[in-house]
Amino acid sequence: MGRVKFCMDTETETKIDPETTAKAMVYELHISPKHAFEVCRAIKGKKVTDAEAYLEAVLEKRVAIPFKRHKKKLAHRKGLEKWYAGRYPVKTCAEILKLIRDAKGNAEYKGLDPEVTRIWHVATKKGRTLKGTMPRAFGRATPKNTDTVTVEIVLREEGS
């Protein structure tokens, strides 16, 4: 696996200030890239405590994640604000919840107050594709590849 950088480090106009931010990244998760994109869109800009409570509610299937891009043939869910289609991506929410808690721990270690930190930046990237095959009849095989996802998160203390 090659070295993966944060998106915010490569952009020139927005740099990560190490004094007021904490960041975390997880590599090559075996989760759906589409679900990861929608979950990250749903939690961006929220306070860390609110995002944790939101994802825990999704894990209990009390609240649905609104699917705004990947919504073809998707059922309506009640309780969504200003949207109609949604899902309960439990596996993805569990992995992203772990990442949020890691970033929150990094913020506490740096001396930032976790109660007033917000999710400033969250992004998903394509990871490696793990090649696989599924045997078929008459000596044939069908490709069965597994996509992986890299997710990064940057928390920033409010008021800075």
- Domain membership of residue 2 (yes or no) is no
pLDDT digits (tens, 9 = 90+) for 28-68: 999 999 999 999 999 999 999 999 999 999 999 999 999 99
> Looking at residue 77, what DSSP letter applies?
-
pLDDT at res. 118? 95
Residue 108 forms part of a structural domain? yes
pTM for this prediction: 0.90
Tokens (6 digits) for 66: 């609104």
CATH number of the domain enclosing 71 = 3.90.470.10
Classify residue 65: in a domain, yes or no.
yes
21: its two tokens: 């931010």
- Confirm whether 13 is domain-assigned: yes
Sign for the CA dihedral angle at 46, 98, 127, 60 comes to: negative
- Positions of E strands within the chain: 21-29, 65-66, 86-87, 117-130, 133-135, 141-143, 146-157
Residue pLDDT, tens place only, 95-126: 999 999 999 999 999 999 988 999 999 999 99
Q: How many domains does the chain have?
A: 1
Tell me which residue range forms the domain holding 60.
7-157
- Within 10 Å of residue 120's Cβ, how many Cβ atoms? 20
**Domain presence at residue 16:** yes
Residue 1 lies in a domain: no
